[in-house]
Structure 1
């Protein structure tokens, strides 16, 4: 058994083996993309062969690891094994079309095996995993401010309900909406509800359409539909953009960079030893 393990260890740590598996993963990823355009027996046969190669690879890595504990202590092994096992689930096992679609979608995640193709990529993934705790609290902080600004936004910028207007007021409002439509035009009132306001703030966080919203609110003020003055409108949108885009998101970046340095230092220490 020791000889078999040593042999498997030599195979799995061989540079040519790693390059070969990487090439198979690339081919598999390419064919997954091709299958979105067309399906035929040749592609299915190649994909079945690739699945067989992946299975052999998993078996070799399992033997080389020396047992269950060593094998399952490596998160990448669990990741690879899960993707391979899912690929063996037959679609005919499920009569439900939604379940079959879900299985197909999960199989597409085999593309993610490319993440282990390079040492540098694995380092980045390790950094992201280590940063999850910090990012989780940053997301909570961001959520608190989104909620706060959304409540303020609904109070300041909620447009009147056309159903409660008189006929003359409704005609005037419809004419106003033709001249100053929502941004985008098919969207509801951006601050009409708390949920919509929170989504609008998230949209502004990406830098999309925040200046259009400002000008629309100024037009709404000039037409008497909201009471917030242009100064308040400008202060609201700029303060949110500065707080969210320039401060809160940079906290996430800082956490990732800090963990990246920690991982790199740990990696350097291991290489020196």
Structure 2
């Protein structure tokens, strides 16, 4: 009895219409949060309060379905996304009005928008790819910091007297170089120093080559590579866990029938050869 009920919950959880309804509720939740940042008339504020109650109860209903549909209850909380969703739902149950934890409850309601990531598999793949790429990105960021530090020290020594606001010390120089790397009016900084040091353009060109071109392309390459691996792994897991479609079952049945026919023909040939 319970297994049949659990199977029905699994079908509901994997139902495409139910998934789209969950996404719609998350979007409505995001709009409701944004609407509360405005000065609303009384009737609109009342509607947002009722919406908030409905969204909170619906998320509680949805996470309960996902928990009951999970065959391994302990394994449910081994997923970071399930833990995140559960925390958001539980903290959202804190009353917003007349509560010492009202601010925390309001802030957590903002994070309900992130549930879009846990609901849509493609977004989960993107986030997982970024997280798994962090160890490899760490070495690139470290090397970029070394380049920043060297160029900031040189810039502070050479250009401090020209413009102490931009090159006063190594920390300010690093912020200035970040502005150069992002191409935010960097030519104004370059022309200002070229009035005193005409060859200072080499300083900026070499820095831009190392950071904006070389290192940023390395970061993009690492993320894309990890993302391809995550997509491949996600497709393999989906193929292992999802139920076969009617067409796939029919194709498998046809293959079995062909194999049986071939085996029967071979046996008939063997009998004739023995005769």
Does the pair score TM above 0.5?
yes
Match runs of 1:148-227 below 5 Å:
148-159=150-161, 189-219=165-195, 221=196
- Partner Cα distance (1:109, 1:79) in 2: 10
Q: Look up the match of 1:88.
A: 93
Mark the runs of 5 or more structure 1 residues left unpaired by the alignment.
161-181, 183-187, 222-228
- 4+ long deviations beyond 6 Å: none
Unpaired runs of at least 5, structure 2? 241-275
Residues 35-78 of structure 1, C-alpha deviations (whole Å, 9 max, x = no match): 11135122011111101100111111111113442211222211
1:185 maps to none
| C-alpha contact 1:158 1:191 (8 A) present in aligned 2 | yes
**What CA deviation, in whole Å up to 9, does each residue of 1:72-129 have, x standing for no partner?**
12222112112222323345443xxxx8656533431211122244332222222212
The answer for the alignment partner of 1:246 in structure 2 is 213
In the other structure, the counterpart of 2:224 is 257
Q: Is the alpha carbon distance of 1:250 and 1:262 closer, same or farther for their aligned partners in structure 2, counting shifts above 3 Å?
A: same
Q: What is aligned with 2:262?
A: none
Higher relative contact order (CA 8 A, sep 6+): 1
Contact 2:140/2:219 (<8 A) preserved: yes
Normalised to the residue count of structure 2, the TM-score between the two structures is: 0.77
Cα distance in 2 between the residues matched to 1:155 and 1:235: 16
Number of aligned residue pairs: give it. Answer: 234
C-alpha separation in 2, matches of 1:210 and 1:17: 51
Residues 114-164 of structure 1: CA deviation (Å, up to 9, x unaligned)? 22443322222222122111122222221121111111111111027xxxx
Shift of 1:272: 5.2
What is the aligned partner in structure 1 of residue 204 from structure 2? 237
Asked if the contact 1:51/1:87 (under 8 Å) is kept, the reply is yes
Closer, same or farther in 2 for the Cα pair 1:271/1:90, shift >3 Å? closer
SS across alignment from 2:38:
coil
Match of 2:122 among 120, 138, 162: 120
Larger radius of gyration: 2
Secondary structure at 2:123 match in 1: helix
Counterpart in the other structure of 1:15: 16
TM-score, normalization: structure 1?
0.78
The residue number in structure 1 matching 2:3 is: 2
**Residues 125 and 145 of structure 1: CA distance in aligned 2, closer, same or farther (over 3 Å):** same
Change in CA separation of 1:33 and 1:73 when aligned onto 2, cut-off 3 Å: same
Question: After alignment, is 237-246 or 11-20 more displaced?
Answer: 11-20
Among 54, 60, 70, the residue aligned to 1:55:
60
Query: 1:121-136 residue pairs with structure 2 within 5 A?
Result: 121-136=123-138
Aligned to 2:28: 27
Contact 2:91 2:108 in 1 (8 A): yes
Maintained 8 Å contact 1:159/1:189? no
Distance change (3 Å), C-alpha of 1:104 and 1:204: farther
